[in-house]
């Protein structure tokens, strides 16, 4: 059989014939896939892969058919990658792979001190902050931890290094099972409050919560601890009764909405009112019809009860009810009033 070369000349290649496929070029890139037909095309289905091609970084192919992948690529394109076995975004510093594209399950940051624990990484268990057990405790006890730290914060306002002061106070009191260095995250949170929200936080309440959240003090604490706050309300998932609702968190203002807003296990406590049906329209309702609700069941309900006769608008407390008006308040007994008369400011 014959082979047409690049110069247009035909040469005879012994041993090639139609029976063995001859010199075929399926992808039409000018290179053939059978030995004896010139430089061999290592992938005759891809015109971008042949002995004359340039090596492309990171595509997993031997582009130039020299038997190697990503070889002869610009060395400046190669970076050191580290395996991230626990998936926390930080890799094992003891293992390095040089590649021009990111290998699977590898990252550039090789500063993980424990690549087997996703809760331990720089800022959450490595060097300056917390161990895995520390992180787990804070996740479940954030409200208590903040209360303890707030007490130390009050003692450290005028210290030259308030962060160190708060950390030392928490450690000295041994009020938590946390390692000493772990207190840095919460100490920095309260110093952030001092710098940004001291006026709003002289008293705990919605204004303080809103300021601390807006100043980023809570977000910095959550990030430092390496915890999760899905709804961005400043409370981590293990301490938030609903981490999908930013209006629900420990010590939130309880709204009258059928929801446990403050995460204390109770619904609408302190937010409901007592309502009484007032059939005679005298402004006082029948105690027997008491309803505890956020709002009156209908416009005829009132906040005042004690009406002894809710069918007569002239009979109500202080005005004609025995035992609760003249007799109790004014010293005039009900029996002192003649039938058909009513008590008015102690006078029948």
Global pTM?
0.49
Q: Which of 279, 275, 240 is nearest to 260 (CA)?
A: 240
- Note down pLDDT in tens along the chain; length 348 residues: 445 455 555 455 555 543 445 577 888 888 887 766 777 888 888 888 998 888 887 777 888 888 877 766 656 567 889 999 999 888 887 899 988 778 899 999 887 777 888 877 776 555 456 777 788 899 999 999 999 999 999 899 889 999 999 999 999 877 899 988 889 999 999 999 999 999 999 888 889 999 999 999 998 898 888 788 999 999 998 999 999 999 898 888 888 888 888 888 888 777 677 889 999 888 888 888 888 877 788 899 998 887 777 888 877 665 555 544 443 444 444 444 555 555 555 555
Distance separating alpha carbons of residues 54 and 6, to the nearest angstrom: 19
164: tokens are 């160190």
**What pLDDT shows up at residue 127?**
47
**What pLDDT shows up at residue 30?**
82
**What pLDDT shows up at residue 163?**
93
**What pLDDT shows up at residue 342?**
55
**What pLDDT shows up at residue 75?**
62
**What pLDDT shows up at residue 328?**
41
Pairing of strands 106-107, 79-83: antiparallel
CB 246 within 8 A of CB 233: yes
**What pLDDT shows up at residue 20?**
47
pLDDT digits (tens, 9 = 90+) for 37-61: 777 888 888 888 998 888 887 777 8
Chain centre distance of CA 158: 33
Place of tokens 């999908």: 244
Instruction: Please classify residue 263 by burial: count the beta carbons closer than 10 Å to its beta carbon, then call 0-12 exposed, 13-18 middle and 19+ buried.
Output: middle
Distance separating alpha carbons of residues 146 and 189, to the nearest angstrom: 10
């Amino acid at each position: 059989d014959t082979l047409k070369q690049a110069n247009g000349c035909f040469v005879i290649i012994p041993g090639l014939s139609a029976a063995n496929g001859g010199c075929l070029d399926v992808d039409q890139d000018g290179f053939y896939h059978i030995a004896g037909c010139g430089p061999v095309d290592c992938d005759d289905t891809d015109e971008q892969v042949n002995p004359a091609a340039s090596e492309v970084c990171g595509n997993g192919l031997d582009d130039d058919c020299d038997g190697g992948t990503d070889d002869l690529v610009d060395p400046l394109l190669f970076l050191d990658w580290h395996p991230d076995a626990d998936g926390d975004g930080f890799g094992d510093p003891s293992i390095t792979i040089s590649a021009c594209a990111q290998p699977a399950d590898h990252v550039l940051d090789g500063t993980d001190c424990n690549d087997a624990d996703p809760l331990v990484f720089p800022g959450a268990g490595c060097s300056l902050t917390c161990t895995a057990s520390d992180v787990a405790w804070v996740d479940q006890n954030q409200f208590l931890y903040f209360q303890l730290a707030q007490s130390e914060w009050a003692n450290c306002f005028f210290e030259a290094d308030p962060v160190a002061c708060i950390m030392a106070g928490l450690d000295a009191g041994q009020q938590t099972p946390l390692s000493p260095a772990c207190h840095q995250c919460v100490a920095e949170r309260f110093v952030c409050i001092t710098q940004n929200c001291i006026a709003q936080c002289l008293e705990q309440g919605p204004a303080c919560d809103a300021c601390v959240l807006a100043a980023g003090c809570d977000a910095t604490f959550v990030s430092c601890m390496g915890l999760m706050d899905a709804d961005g309300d400043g409370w981590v998932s293990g301490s938030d009764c609903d981490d999908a609702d930013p209006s629900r968190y420990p010590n939130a203002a309880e709204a009258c909405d059928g929801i446990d807003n403050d995460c204390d296990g109770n619904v609408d406590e302190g937010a409901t009112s007592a309502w009484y049906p007032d059939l005679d329209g005298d402004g006082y309702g029948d105690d027997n019809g008491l309803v505890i609700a956020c709002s009156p069941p209908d416009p005829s309900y009132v906040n005042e009860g004690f009406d002894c006769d809710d069918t007569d608008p002239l009979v109500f407390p202080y005005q004609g009810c025995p035992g609760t008006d003249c007799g109790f308040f004014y010293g005039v007994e009900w029996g002192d009033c003649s039938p058909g008369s009513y008590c008015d400011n102690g006078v029948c």
